[in-house]
Chains A and B, each alone.
Chain A
Amino acid sequence: MTDAARPASPIAATARSQDLKFYAIWLIAAIGLVALPMIFPSGGSLTSFSLIGISIIFALSYNILLGQTGLLSFGHAVYYGLGGFAVVHMMNAAAAHGWPIPLPFIPLFGGLGGLCFAAVIGWVMTRRAGTVFAMISLGIGELVASSSLILRSLFGGESGITTDRTALPHMFGWTFGPQIQIYYLIAFWVMIAAIAMYALTRTPFGRICNAVRDNPERVEFIGYDPHVVRYLACCFSGLFAGIAGGLTAINFEIANSAYLGAVQSGLVLFATFIGGTAYFFGPILGAILVTYLQLGLTSLTSVWQLYFGIIFIGIVMFSPGGIAGILMMHRPLIRAGTLRTVIPSYLIALLPTLVLICGVILGIETIARYTANQGEGNAINLFGIPFNATAPSTWIVAIAMIVGGYLVARLTWRRIAEAWDRATTGARDRGYLA
């Protein structure tokens, strides 16, 4: 076939309209990031936004491995933490020697730190995928985390290494002392890193990453070495994780061994998975939700980790595609116009499900207060309503809400399933679903 115009043009046309949509989305995101502090100007929300921005970069970098290349890493915080330490040392050296490096460029050195470590350790680590990779990543993570406590000159021991972000040359008259300036610095890097990581998925290398994820054996028979593909993915992932770690170090003006540890590695896995690994925007949603919950729940309840665990198990069991997976399930229905047949069943299910969830929360809080935190007294306050943790009535209410909520909710969930069947059949009939 010599006439390439016929098959190529419809694809080129859809690619062009996708391009437009694509630029529009990034533009809206940029405007949103600029406008956010104007809508929520309080110091607390600026801190929250800064941390959310950092975890967005971190989670996206993790998804280069997990979602794009199919590599489950248990030690991703190593690159993040080393990026943080690289930045702190760089800032201290620049301040001491008077090097003319303005703060906005400093996160690059974090990326460089993450990249260098990934480039050195990655070749051995990515020799095999699957369980072998996961185990080696766990081992390296532990190795680096424990050596961070031993190598005091490099990692500063338990107290870490501090720095002063205002000691560097100022740029546009910004001192980078106030949190608002740090927020904009982070927002700038979120845009740069997110665009770069998205662009990476649209390159020949990015496509082959997906092929390695789906079927590494077959990749060998179309000319590619899956080991090299995994290695490069590991390097890119380390680069962006290092940038995230560097921004954290700038934000807190400190880097310590907690940045490198298993908790940090667990959190990024958690955020990425909850958000959904199959779509590029999934980890962004996960990072926003998890960071927000982390900041919000810790002040509300002492057993916030338990809630994290329950959410994680719930997602793994009922929606392995994460939040992005749930959202994208609705796309063919929206296109086919059959979504409205599902919405009423959602609304009906909402009330009993909320009752069930509130019952579970009441149960957890009462038990936690009764067993672990007795010193705090028996009075607990949930949703503005005071309860007594030792009163039988509280326990009866909790059990009644759980049992009753579950029994009713189950019926409404069945209605959702039926409505879904009808809606997807409708969408399939109209050709919006394969």
Chain B
Amino acid sequence: MTAAIEIRDVEKRFGNVGIIHGLNLSVAKGERHAVIGPNGAGKSTTFNLISGHIAPTSGEIRLNGDLISGLRPFEINRRGLSRSFQITNVFARMTVWENVRCAVLWATGHRYAFWKNVDDLPEVRQRTAEILDDINLFHRRDVPAGLLTYAEQRELEIGITIAGGADVIMLDEPTAGMSHAETERAVALIRRLTEGRTLVIVEHDMSVVFGLADRISVLVYGHIIASGSPDEIRGNPKVKEAYLGEEAT
């Protein structure tokens, strides 16, 4: 079976500074895969490479077997990969409803249509309502996104990410800055919403990582030093030394 995401020998240099060297990673379809690593290891860069935000210097990235390295973000998104951002990245002056609806429009085939009334599209309305129900923000639908609380904005961020119905979902630190209770809610939400889809997640909170992931990859200084099940990663001496060891001391 082809992997959902296949990264082979990817390098990324900014000028002379190499951020990612020889990155190899494979995420199977339907898997929940967590990428962990110390600060500055290149986790966000890896996300940006996969989602097309930046192009790799060399190497190839495949989505469901198709080569996507070098494509623009919207081209990759149209092939079924959607990502969230570490810093909340919503449409601040538009309402919650409009935020989610915008994310639904391309996937429902309306594209750049300038001849249809957006309020007269039942399938768009229904899907938007479903997503808002899913992320528990339906009661806040008329509030401008910029006025939501931080936790609500994070939930909206996830809502926008899943609204297009992509089958590969990438979440960049979805619980960063959340309280314990909010984190628990967010994890339950992520678990429910990514059911049957492939999930790649970058996360600092180890309880989230070990509670959610089927497989974990450890990224240190721009390459993967270990990849395996949560138990394998826990027992891996290299990982302990590079990452978990630091946490423990």
Contacts and interface: CB of A to CB of B under 8 A. Distances in A.
Interface stretch (A96-104, A206-214, A326-334): A206-214
A192 to B, nearest CB: 16
A203 B94 contact: no
A221 B82 contact: yes
B113 interface: yes
Interface in B74-124: 74, 77-78, 82-83, 85, 89-94, 97-98, 101-103, 105-107, 110-119, 121-122
Given A205-B114, A220-B52, A222-B163, 8 more contacts: A1-B130, A202-B117, A204-B110, A204-B113, A208-B112, A222-B164, A225-B72, A434-B143
A298 B110 CA distance: 49
A422 interface: no
Contact of B144 (A200, A228, A229, A434): A434
Contacts of B83: 221
B92 A204 contact: no
A211 B126 contact: no
B102 A207 contact: yes
Top 4 nearest A-B pairs (CB, nearest first) are A223-B106, A7-B129, A205-B114, A220-B73
B160 A202 contact: no
- Residue among A223, A229, A232 with max Cβ neighbours from chain B (10 Å): A223
Contacts of A207: 98, 101-102, 105, 118
Nearest to B129: A7
A199 B118 CA distance: 10
B51 interface: yes
A20 interface: no
Given A221-B77, A223-B107, A204 B133 contact: no
A8 B77 contact: no
Contacts of A228: 112
A210 B113 CA distance: 14
A18 to B, nearest CB: 9
A15 interface: yes
Contacts of B132: 7
Contacts of B121: 204
B112 A204 contact: yes
A211 B92 CA distance: 9
Interface string B158-185: 0011011000000000000000000000
Contacts of A8: 122, 125-126, 129
A224 interface: yes
B113 A203 contact: yes
A222 B98 contact: no
Nearest to B121: A204
